[in-house]
């Protein structure tokens, strides 16, 4: 085999193959969401207990209760850190079935909203503009788009997006 799958772009696949990729991805996505839910509830409980501890420490407002305040803050901080770690490790498991690259990743050659390879780098904050769907794509904490297509190969994978 001369050509690796990795170098193929969306145009190199037949409609049948593209459909297969979407089906494969739907299975992965389902698993991803189920794992997400499994993690979410215990973490939420930890954070709630933390808030309850802080609340109680204020309610009782005695110096003896100061440790409760500390414990509450620690629990919340731990919960937030676990969420960050779990989210990033989960995201690394979600791969594009076509090019096997990360699905949720820095923006590559293709627009994650529509899969078109007509991105233009925009301003100094790193915003990219897609000439096909007209979106200005901002990543990071203020991400203003959904990952629907693979940003590396342009294969459209999920209507709802992530």
Chain residues that interact with Zn ion, rule: CB under 5 A: 96, 98-99, 111, 113-114, 116, 130, 132-133, 150, 152-153
The CA distances from residue 58 to 50, 69, 78, in Å, are 13, 8, 21
Secondary structure letter of residue 117 according to DSSP:
S
| Tokens of residue 83, six digits | 């969420």
- Nearest approach, Cβ of 137 to Zn ion (angstroms)? 8
Q: 47 vs 155, which CB is nearer to Zn ion?
A: 155
- Nearest approach, Cβ of 33 to Zn ion (angstroms)? 20
Q: How far apart are CA 49 and CA 62, in angstroms?
A: 19
Q: How far apart are CA 37 and CA 124, in angstroms?
A: 37
Q: 29 vs 78, which CB is nearer to Zn ion?
A: 29
Q: How far apart are CA 65 and CA 61, in angstroms?
A: 7
Beta pairing partners, 119: 130
Q: 139 vs 152, which CB is nearer to Zn ion?
A: 152
Q: 5 vs 36, which CB is nearer to Zn ion?
A: 5
- Nearest approach, Cβ of 119 to Zn ion (angstroms)? 8
- Nearest approach, Cβ of 148 to Zn ion (angstroms)? 9
Q: Specify whether the CB–CB gap between 8 and 98 falls below 8 A.
A: yes
């Amino acid at each position: 085999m001369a050509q690796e799958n990795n170098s193929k772009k969306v145009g190199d696949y037949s409609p049948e193959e593209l459909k297969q990729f979407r089906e494969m991805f739907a299975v992965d996505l389902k698993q991803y969401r189920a794992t997400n839910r499994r993690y979410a509830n215990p973490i939420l409980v930890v954070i709630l207990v933390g808030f309850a501890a802080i609340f109680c420490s204020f309610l009782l407002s005695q110096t003896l209760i100061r440790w409760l305040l500390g414990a509450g803050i620690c629990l919340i901080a731990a919960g937030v850190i676990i969420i960050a770690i779990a989210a990033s490790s989960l995201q690394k498991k979600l791969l594009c079935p076509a090019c096997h690259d990360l699905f949720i990743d820095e923006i590559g050659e293709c627009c994650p909203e529509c899969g078109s390879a007509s991105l233009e780098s925009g301003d100094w904050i790193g915003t990219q503009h897609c000439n096909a769907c007209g979106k200005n794509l901002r990543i990071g904490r203020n991400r203003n788009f959904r990952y629907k297509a693979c940003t590396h190969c342009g294969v459209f994978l999920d209507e709802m997006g992530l």
